[in-house]
Amino acid sequence: MQALSTASSAAGREKSADLSPLQAVIFDWAGTLVDFGSLAPTQIFVEAFATFGIHITLAQARGPMGLSKWDHIRQLLQDESIAAQWLEKFGRAPANEDVDAIYARFMPMQIAKVGEFSAPIEGAVQTLQWLRANGLKVGSCSGYPREVLNQLLPQAEAAGVKPDYVVAGDELEAGGRPGPFMALANVLALGIGDVRACVKVDDTVPGIEEGLNAGMWTVGLSLSGNEVGYSVQEFAKADAADVEARVEVAEAKLKKAGAHYVVRSVADLPEVLQAIAADMRAGRKPA
């Protein structure tokens, strides 16, 4: 199987590091901590739309990833080809009540299957241990609704992934990504004194924008997440040139969104956090 993490990152987890003045790292879930390739939500969107006689591709399903699931469905229905299918089948353009209907179909399907995709991404458990050993708090947020997270969290915890705080995509009246609200909820819950001492880690554009809007450092994950979209099995068999081509596209997209750093997976995070801490000690701030 191809290597997911770098040797230098693995070495970085084995020793303590000077991460001052950083205070916390706030993670996304699918494609970041668990569910390599962010497969659980993607496939269920395809299946939920199919129950209405609407065909969407996996690529289309991945497009709005990072948004709350209701907003994700609404965004999909605004896709020209999907909206055209809806008009042909139902004789009218899709409306918010149609978003509600698809969401109601999506939710039980996602709840039933999310546990199948709860395996930690390689290096996630060790990275969380390293963060705590070096005095940082660990927050998290997700586009998943709370009902879905309630199925995912116990299984992730049993496998060694348990942040100090979790907020779901449907829990805040102010809304979800790309707004800063879930990231800032972590700041409040964890008692962080300065948003600039936080790092938001995510595999999607809305997740990077969330961190930037909250005034945080941001780290994008290319290979493990939505933008590349390999399953573990596909990655193991993939041609190295194809992997690098996909990673290059993903990196460019996340950097264009404003990510301060982009790495392949959570396994590569320790080295980047040391660089961010050094930036802060030199007086630099997240733009």
- Residue of 69, 71, 200, 203 marked catalytic: 69
- Give the rounded distance of the alpha carbon of 185 from its chain centre: 17
Annotation says 18 is catalytic: no
The helix/strand/coil state of 26 is strand
DSSP 73: H
The 10 Å Cβ neighbour count of residue 127 is 29
Annotation says 69 is catalytic: yes
- Per-residue burial over 234-261, b if 16 or more Cβ lie within 10 Å, else e, is ebeebeeeebeebbeebbebbeebbbbb
Contact 120, 160 (CB under 8 A): yes
- Residue of 15, 18, 28, 113 marked catalytic: 28
Whose structure tokens read 């309630």? 150
Report how far residue 181's alpha carbon sits from residue 214's, in angstroms, rounded to the nearest whole number.
8
Contact 231, 37 (CB under 8 A): yes
Active-site residues: which are they? 28, 69
